[in-house]
Structure 1
Amino acid sequence: MKYLQTRRDFLKKTSAAAMATMGMGAPLAGLLSSCESKIPTTADSVILLFMAGGMAHTETFDPKKFTPFRKGMEAKEVLSTFPSIPTKLDGIFFSEGLENIASVMDKGTLIRSYQAADLGHILHTRHQYHFHTCYEPPQSVVVPHLGSWIAKEKGPLNPVIPPFINIGQRFTVGEGEELKAFHSAGFLGSEFGPFLIPDPSAGLEAVRPPVGMDYKRFEGRNQLYNDLVAASPMGEFGSDYQKESLKRSMEQAYMLLNSPEAKAFDLSLEPKESYDRYNTGRFGLGCLLAKRLVNQGARYITVTTEYEPFFGWDTHDNGHTRLKDMKKMIDAPIAQLIKDLDQSGKLDRTLVIVASEFSRDMLTEGRPDLKVLDQVEVPDIIEDMKNYGMHRHFTDGCSVLMFGGGIKRGHIFGKTADERPCKTI
């Protein structure tokens, strides 16, 4: 019980600190009650760059001893499958493949002591639900995403731009219903829900009428939609609060469609040189879109590498090879986002966070001191390259990288063990 109480206090204080950068009141009852004093506001916006699927800390921002692949090697030898590279900070190293992010580390702060929540059986969408809402699933009601709390508590910086925007996650690629469960404003009301942009290259499609539809026809469609909503179960039986919130969300969407700010969603307007620096695919273009939307007053933006079971960071096999591709996807656009925000003067008031739901290890599933069901078979002797990599889910040590938002630049907090298990110490 003592451990659980300590974790509860830790979650309260860290959640409070994150939200305090935006000067928020407590979204959950008593969340700030354990904080001795209010932390001053240091950010206007948040960009969460979410590495969905489980990003291994020892392969990214907390590298350990490098062991190259060789046939017949023992699995227990493998701590990192990439050599270390220097960063802009003396004595701080990242994993090979993150050279661009390493070059801006003097502008960031790295936390190497984050531990994912103990939720029993390890499931990606279960831990993502907890990460984004601070609730443990399942819940008897639909609970709000942290972005929805920020949208409600702080309101929009620009009344035309949605305060909470989610970029990059589709709900048609597996476990869609589980993902939808936390992409919601829940009991806060529809107006605080996420504005969803699954494909950033098609962002403009989300904020303009269909091609070929003139203004008069669009007006007619909009009125018909309002009539249908009024006749729906929500319109007939919902509470006054729910009805008004839904009405406001529809009005906000309509206002955006007819505003000049809608151009922020159009990546074709970005200069080619800038576009190319970000264009490593959907995630890179998501970072570019996030920059454009922050410049227009978005409050909370999530850009995800997207969770799709057994793809992306969800490396159940071929971990080393697949991480090469993932690093190519994230390295240049994250660094460019930081450079651009810093150059424009926006970085000091924009908190950029790079994080994942948990980490990975070659051998340990969950935590060393808490046995959970193994989900990946790892041979003791590695003969095939597909078994070389971090394939098990690890919750006892993770890295979180932050930039801007008033945090100290060029700092590192926390440490993990240099030998397995590479847990927080």
Structure 2
Amino acid sequence: MKTDRRDFLTSASAATLGALAAGYPSTTAAAAAKAKEAPLDATADTVIVLWLGGGMASTDTFDPKRYTPYEKGLDPKKVLSTFPAVDTVVDGLQFTEGLEKIGKVMDRGTLIKTYRAADLGFILHSRHQYHWHTAYEPPLTVAAPHIGSWVSRTLGPLNPDLPAFIDVGQTFDGGEKESLKAFHTAGFLGSEFGPFFLVEPDQAVEAVKPPPGMSDERFAKRYRAYKKLLADSPIQQHGSEHQRDSLLNSIDNAHRLLSSPKARKAFDLSQEPKNIYDTYKVGGRFGLGCLLARRLTEAGARFIEVTHGYYPFKYWDTHDNGHTRMKELKQMIDAPIAQLVLDLEARKLLDRTLIVVATEFSRDMMTEGKPEKKVKDQVNVPNRIEGLQHYGMHRHFTGAGSVLLFGGGVKKGFVYGETADERPCTTVKDPVTTEQLHASIYRALGIPHDHHYAVEQRPFYVTPDGVTEPIMELFG
């Protein structure tokens, strides 16, 4: 079915409004019985998603192909990678130049080479990001929860003073903002399971404490007054009993966080030694987000997503100057991701923390979509490259992309899948879908792939129809 931006927004808004009238999403008797009979042994307690929104080119990052250096008059069809390959700590595994630090910690993790994004028609970033974060292809008549909300609802917080689902770095001030909002919610599960947003990591502590000068007594009075105001809110007036309770629970959770000095310390990056802080700071908002994720994991957070925010034509959305911009993007992620792995390992937390480094799809010089299912080109590629602005991976490629996994029970120094060495550099062995990736993340947390809640008198699964199983070969 062909869906344009207007259709996507309309259906997403309708699904969100419909969620207001929904009853409490309960576990079905069959699901409860199955969980009781055969509980899964979790290999992870916490998940950290490091989201590189915009479409990271795998052949210029974690899956290098033949290197073709820049020169004027270059035939773009000859360009597969714009960086030379460098060895990692794992025998036979190479990354592209500029990712040496991550390469040195790959003996702690797994590289998936063959993530295949879904065929959703004309490529729209927010649509693919919606699919990645919910495992459901839009549009839907039910508001699908973000993966973090599924985890929050099913497992709850590790530390009751902390939000179970924390989103670091996401903003809604750029293009496609309404579409992005559509999946940064708990959907039908209710607002208490939605993300706790922190845009700027180095200012996070200010978001979790009362205003300066406010006494505990005054803060308590404001809290009581605010709860009275909620009684006149649209949800309290027109929502279902579940939605009304969920809103009140989310307010209680926020109050508990604001009232806990010990929990607030986890959000305070100023307590970090300068040398550690500076290692992460080279990555800007994303890098400091990785540092905050480490501190939150230490404090008992359950699900954390870190991103630089998605902005059309910025960061990984490289429609031009792909090679030049990629140098800066690698500097943003290389040291922070590697340091996060090392820090968690040093604190004996890595084995029970699953780190997922992902993006919505890859990029290629020539192919838009998949070789067997091309879609309308969005980037003009000249017959000859006469300037650096045309040297890089600029078209959206969904045939194969890279995902990194660390800790949480996954294999160490392992590579899953195989891609072609020549264009189209697509998947040739062991493709991985969004649904399989989600099922595998849930499996690490001990959540069955067919886990579901009843909404509108029918089951809604963590992955569509609950039939997609995890990739057990990823686990050690």
Q: Percent identity?
A: 59
CA distance in 1, matches of 2:281, 2:363: 27
Paired residue for 1:417, among 417, 420, 429? Answer: 420
Give the 5 Å matches for 1:122-271.
Answer: 122-259=123-260, 260-271=262-273
CA distance in 2, matches of 1:132, 1:206: 25
Report the CA distance between 1:277 and its aligned residue. 1.4
Report the CA distance between 1:212 and its aligned residue. 3.4
Match of 1:115 in 2: 116
RMSD: 1.7
SS at match of 2:153: helix
CA distance in 1, matches of 2:214, 2:313: 40
Per-residue CA deviation, residues 188-238 of structure 1 (Å, 9 max, x unaligned), is 011100010111111012101223333333233322221221111111121
Match of 2:460 in 1: none
Q: Does 1:387 align with 2:390?
A: yes
Whether contact under 8 Å (2:369, 2:398) holds in the other structure is: yes
Match of 1:274 in 2: 276
Paired residue for 1:292, among 285, 295, 299? Answer: 295
- Name the TM-score, length of structure 2 as normaliser: 0.81
Paired residue for 1:303, among 287, 302, 306? Answer: 306
- Equivalent position amino acid for 1:138 in 2: P
Per-residue CA deviation, residues 340-366 of structure 1 (Å, 9 max, x unaligned), is 111111000000011100000000000
CA distance in 1, matches of 2:140, 2:318: 29
Give the 5 Å matches for 1:307-322.
Answer: 307-322=310-325
Report the CA distance between 1:380 and its aligned residue. 1.6
- Equivalent position amino acid for 2:286 in 1: F
Match of 1:399 in 2: 402
Match of 1:329 in 2: 332
Match of 1:354 in 2: 357
CA 1:235–1:26 in structure 2 vs 1: closer, same or farther (change >3 Å)? closer
CA 1:155–1:173 in structure 2 vs 1: closer, same or farther (change >3 Å)? same
CA 1:352–1:372 in structure 2 vs 1: closer, same or farther (change >3 Å)? same
SS at match of 1:202: helix
CA distance in 2, matches of 1:323, 1:342: 28
Q: Mean alpha-carbon deviation: is it higher for 52-61 or for 171-180? A: 171-180
CA distance in 1, matches of 2:187, 2:372: 35
Q: Mean alpha-carbon deviation: is it higher for 337-346 or for 234-243? A: 234-243
CA 1:26–1:388 in structure 2 vs 1: closer, same or farther (change >3 Å)? farther
- Equivalent position amino acid for 1:238 in 2: G
SS at match of 2:300: coil
Report the CA distance between 1:271 and its aligned residue. 1.5
SS at match of 1:278: helix
CA distance in 1, matches of 2:56, 2:214: 44
Return structure 1 stretches of 4+ with deviation > 6 angstroms.
none
Report the CA distance between 1:40 and its aligned residue. 2.7
CA distance in 1, matches of 2:92, 2:27: 38
Match of 1:77 in 2: 78
Per-residue CA deviation, residues 16-62 of structure 1 (Å, 9 max, x unaligned), is xxxxxxxxx999x99xx9xxx97531000000111100000101110
Whether contact under 8 Å (2:191, 2:250) holds in the other structure is: yes
Match of 1:5 in 2: none
CA distance in 1, matches of 2:232, 2:308: 38
SS at match of 1:398: coil
SS at match of 2:67: coil
CA 1:106–1:26 in structure 2 vs 1: closer, same or farther (change >3 Å)? farther
Any stretches of 5+ residues in structure 1 without a counterpart? 1-24
CA distance in 2, matches of 1:377, 1:215: 60
Match of 1:66 in 2: 67
Report the CA distance between 1:107 and its aligned residue. 0.6
- Equivalent position amino acid for 2:238 in 1: F
Per-residue CA deviation, residues 256-285 of structure 1 (Å, 9 max, x unaligned), is 001111110011111112111111211000
SS at match of 1:113: coil
Whether contact under 8 Å (2:68, 2:82) holds in the other structure is: yes
Q: Number of residue pairs matched?
A: 395
CA distance in 2, matches of 1:170, 1:255: 25
Whether contact under 8 Å (2:367, 2:374) holds in the other structure is: no
SS at match of 1:47: strand
Report the CA distance between 1:164 and its aligned residue. 0.5
SS at match of 2:367: coil
Give the 5 Å matches for 1:366-385.
Answer: 366-385=369-388
CA distance in 1, matches of 2:319, 2:116: 21
CA distance in 1, matches of 2:85, 2:377: 29
SS at match of 1:389: coil
- Name the TM-score, length of structure 1 as normaliser: 0.90
SS at match of 2:114: strand
Match of 2:5 in 1: none
- Equivalent position amino acid for 1:323 in 2: M
Per-residue CA deviation, residues 74-131 of structure 1 (Å, 9 max, x unaligned), is 0101000000010001110001000100010111111111111111111110000000
